């Protein structure tokens, strides 16, 4: 039986749907139903419940975007750093495996092959770098799980969101029964404020950059596959292979969604940061070789994008189960 924390969130709901599709028993919890930020309550609950896995899909990435993390720093720190530490401690003390949803935003840039050498380029929006990606994307390689994060409080500049996510990873690495699943700009075919495609449609102008992406359903399937395959615990970049530009995404949306408006872009970084953004953005490419070696394969990013955009559903998906109260008994395949 799986205990799912953050069950009402964008990623948490996707985990619930996938766990249910697999016919697994699970209990979905939200903070409104049960304050799992309190160590004493969570420890007692996990000790009595004895789940086979705790999935932490809770966190705060900001509404309408990550800039709100700069003004809501206490809430961001509590959700992204302190809460994962609390959950990890409970799991260690109860000998319970943990699956934690981390983020690729703790990196900036990529590895670029130029002049016969592979070097790290932190700013992928430099004119020469961007031109190289447009003509030779095969020269760009992602950060692996062995690469030290470079968009953190230790290695700035970084957003407050990135800094708190990196701190959580640092603390959870000592848990030898934990998966750290890195997601990157999740998207799906249903409208949702946390969906990358929804955000792009809502923006007055779009910031054009190079990035890795995670199709939401592909992401949760890959995470649960790692657990079911008994892959080694540790950090995994769980993104669709390859990298894309937001301009490529916009072109797909205009062609396949038939949106009522033309998607416009900020002229350059200077205009974007002077008029729109309050925090530095993390544009990065992640390497997924470790995921593939573990026996988990995800669709290429462009393939997943084209399929998703062609099936765009402008209405949010209805939640088909409700978060459980902590004292409910497990019945059937969920606690709804």
Check which CATH number belongs to the domain holding 177 and give it.
3.40.50.720
Cβ pair 312, 238 in contact under 8 A: no
Whether residue 316 lies inside any domain: the answer is no
Q: What is the number of structural domains in the chain? A: 1
Distance, in Å, from the CA atom of 179 to the CA atom of 56, rounded to the nearest integer, reads: 10
217 domain residue, yes or no = yes
284 pLDDT band, cuts 50/70/90, is very high
Domain span at 172: 2-310
Q: Are 83 and 77 in contact (CB under 8 A)?
A: no
Helix (H) or strand (E) holding 53: strand 53-56
156-165 tens-digit pLDDT: 899 999 999 9
* Across 36-53, average pLDDT: 97
Is there a domain that residue 86 lies in? yes
Residue burial 244-275, b: 16+ Cβ < 10 Å; e: rest: bbbebbbebbeebeeeeeebeebeebeebeee
Q: Using one digit for the tens of pLDDT, what is the confidence trace for 175-233? A: 999 999 999 999 999 999 999 999 999 998 999 999 999 999 999 999 999 999 999 99
317 falls within a domain: no
Reference 236, options 245, 225, 247, 244; nearest CA is: 225
Task: Specify the DSSP class assigned to residue 106.
Answer: G
Specify if 243 maps to a domain. yes
Instruction: Over range 56-64, report the average pLDDT.
Output: 89
336: in domain: no
Q: Please report which confidence band the pLDDT of residue 326 belongs to, taking 50, 70 and 90 as the band edges.
A: low
Cα atoms found within 13 Å of the Cα of residue 299, Cβ hemisphere only: 15
What pLDDT shows up at residue 120? Answer: 97
Place of tokens 């990298």: 243
């Amino acid at each position: 039986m799986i205990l799912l924390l953050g069950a009402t969130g964008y990623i948490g709901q996707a985990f619930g749907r996938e766990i249910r599709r697999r016919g697994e028993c699970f209990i979905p919890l939200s903070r409104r139903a049960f304050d799992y930020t309190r160590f004493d309550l969570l420890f007692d609950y996990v000790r009595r419940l004895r789940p086979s896995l705790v999935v932490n899909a809770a966190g705060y990435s900001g509404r309408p975007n990550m800039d709100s993390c700069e003004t809501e720093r206490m809430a961001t720190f509590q959700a992204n750093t302190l809460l994962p530490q609390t959950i990890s401690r409970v799991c260690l003390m109860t000998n319970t495996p943990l699956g934690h949803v981390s983020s690729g935003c703790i990196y900036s840039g990529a590895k670029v092959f130029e002049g016969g050498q592979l070097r790290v380029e932190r700013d992928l929006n430099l004119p020469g770098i961007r031109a190289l990606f447009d003509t030779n994307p095969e020269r760009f390689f992602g950060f692996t799980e062995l690469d030290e994060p470079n968009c953190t409080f230790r290695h700035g500049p970084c957003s407050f969101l990135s800094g708190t996510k990196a701190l959580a990873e640092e603390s959870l690495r000592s848990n030898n029964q934990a998966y750290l699943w890195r997601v990157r700009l999740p998207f799906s075919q249903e409208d949702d404020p946390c969906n990358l495609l929804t955000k792009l449609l809502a923006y007055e102008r779009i910031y054009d950059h190079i990035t890795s992406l995670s199709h939401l359903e592909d992401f949760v399937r890959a995470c649960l596959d790692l657990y079911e395959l008994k892959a080694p615990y540790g950090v995994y970049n769980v993104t669709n292979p390859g990298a894309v530009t937001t301009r490529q995404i916009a072109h797909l949306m205009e062609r396949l969604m038939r949106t009522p408006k033309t998607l416009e872009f900020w002229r350059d970084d200077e205009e974007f940061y002077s008029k729109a953004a309050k925090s530095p953005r993390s544009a990065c490419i992640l390497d997924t070789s470790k995921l593939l070696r573990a026996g988990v394969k995800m669709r290429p990013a462009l393939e997943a994008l084209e399929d998703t955009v062609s099936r765009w559903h402008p209405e949010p998906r209805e939640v088909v189960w409700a978060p459980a109260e902590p004292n409910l008994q497990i019945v059937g395949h969920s606690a709804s």
